[in-house]
């Protein structure tokens, strides 16, 4: 069963690297746009270090490629409003907190979102940039749109168990405690993508080929579609100490 995004107003996503937004909320963004909602997406970094082959893809070249890929990817979802903060990839934790939050809050104040989507304090994968962006997003929302519903990306226990073999194979997570799982009664938004929505998300992922082509070749397109384009889950923001870590919660 799907649980739709609340409300009818603007949806605001705050993410760390190009492709985070599509993996975690591509279906929700497309559905919101199809419903006539404003969707604005912020990316903190240009992802200039997102390669195993930095000689072939030096940072400036990769950043430019990823800018173009992200624009095409968002367009495939119907999203045309994007802000790139251009902060250094892999180095978000060293940025001045108040200055970044002030910059983000300025964008939030203009958009007046009803819903803010971002990582939880776990950073979903544990990536330090993701965790930092979560803190920035929460602070910016608290400052500029305190009534906006703040939602954190999460997976259900069922999803984590189904795909554990893939997570282990890819080494996606920064610690054995990840991913954090949403307790069933904590799930605030869940989109089960139908075939058309899954295809659209797959197109958006393909558009970011510098990040997804190798992975798709490795897994096969059907697995990529079943894993990355099947369901998106968010929980309401709560203080980190109160979040569930355990299996079967």
Of 5, 13, 17, 137, the one binding Zn ion by CB under 5 A: 17
- Please report how close the Cβ of residue 153 comes to Zn ion at its closest, in angstroms: 11
Q: Does 44 bind Zn ion (CB under 5 A)?
A: no
> In terms of CB distance, is 10 or 50 closer to Zn ion?
50
Site for Zn ion in 124-163 (CB under 5 A): none
Name the one range near Zn ion by CB under 5 A: 11-19, 35-43, 116-124, 209-217: 11-19
Nearest to 227 by CA among 156, 157, 130, 162: 162
* Contact (Cβ atoms closer than 8 angstroms) between residue 84 and residue 67: yes
Nearest to 180 by CA among 162, 155, 151: 155
Number of residues that bind Zn ion (CB under 5 A): 3
- Please report how close the Cβ of residue 128 comes to Zn ion at its closest, in angstroms: 10
- Please report how close the Cβ of residue 18 comes to Zn ion at its closest, in angstroms: 8
Q: How many helices (H) and strands (E) does the chain have?
A: 9, 8
- Looking at beta carbons, which residue is closest to Zn ion? 17
Name the one range near Zn ion by CB under 5 A: 5-13, 17-25, 153-161, 218-226: 17-25
Which residues have a Cβ under 8 Å from the Cβ of 26 and sit 6 or more positions away?
Answer: 77, 200, 201, 204, 205, 229, 232
Nearest to 9 by CA among 37, 41, 40, 42: 37
Contact mark string toward Zn ion, 18..37, x via CB under 5 A? --x-----------------
- Please report how close the Cβ of residue 8 comes to Zn ion at its closest, in angstroms: 29
Sign of the alpha-carbon torsion through 2, 234, 118, 232: negative
Instruction: Give bridge partners of residue 155 from the DSSP assignment.
Output: 181
- Judged by the rule CB under 5 A, the positions of this chain that interact with Zn ion are 16-17, 20
């Amino acid at each position: 069963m799907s649980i739709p995004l609340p409300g009818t107003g603007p949806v605001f996503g705050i993410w760390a690297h190009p492709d985070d937004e599509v993996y975690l909320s591509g279906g929700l963004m497309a559905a919101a746009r199809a419903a006539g909602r404003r969707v604005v997406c912020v990316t903190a970094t240009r992802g200039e270090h997102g390669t195993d082959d930095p000689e072939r893809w030096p940072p400036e070249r990769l950043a430019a490629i990823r800018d173009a890929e992200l624009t095409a990817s968002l367009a495939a979802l119907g999203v045309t409003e994007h802000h790139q903060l251009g902060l250094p990839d892999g180095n978000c934790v060293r940025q001045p907190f108040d200055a970044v939050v002030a910059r983000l809050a300025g964008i939030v104040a203009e958009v007046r979102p009803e819903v803010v989507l971002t990582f939880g304090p776990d950073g979903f994968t544990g990536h330090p940039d993701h965790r930092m962006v979560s803190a920035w997003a929460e602070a910016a929302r608290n400052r500029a749109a305190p009534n906006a519903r703040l939602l954190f990306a999460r997976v259900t226990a069922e999803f984590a168990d189904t795909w554990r073999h893939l997570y282990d194979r890819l080494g996606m997570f920064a610690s054995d405690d990840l991913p954090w799982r949403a307790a069933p009664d904590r799930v605030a938004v869940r989109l089960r993508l139908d075939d058309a929505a899954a295809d659209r998300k797959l197109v958006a992922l393909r558009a970011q080929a510098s990040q997804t082509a190798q992975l798709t070749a490795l897994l096969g397109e059907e697995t990529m579609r079943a894993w990355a384009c099947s369901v998106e889950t968010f929980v309401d923001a709560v203080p980190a100490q109160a979040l569930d870590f355990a299996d079967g919660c």
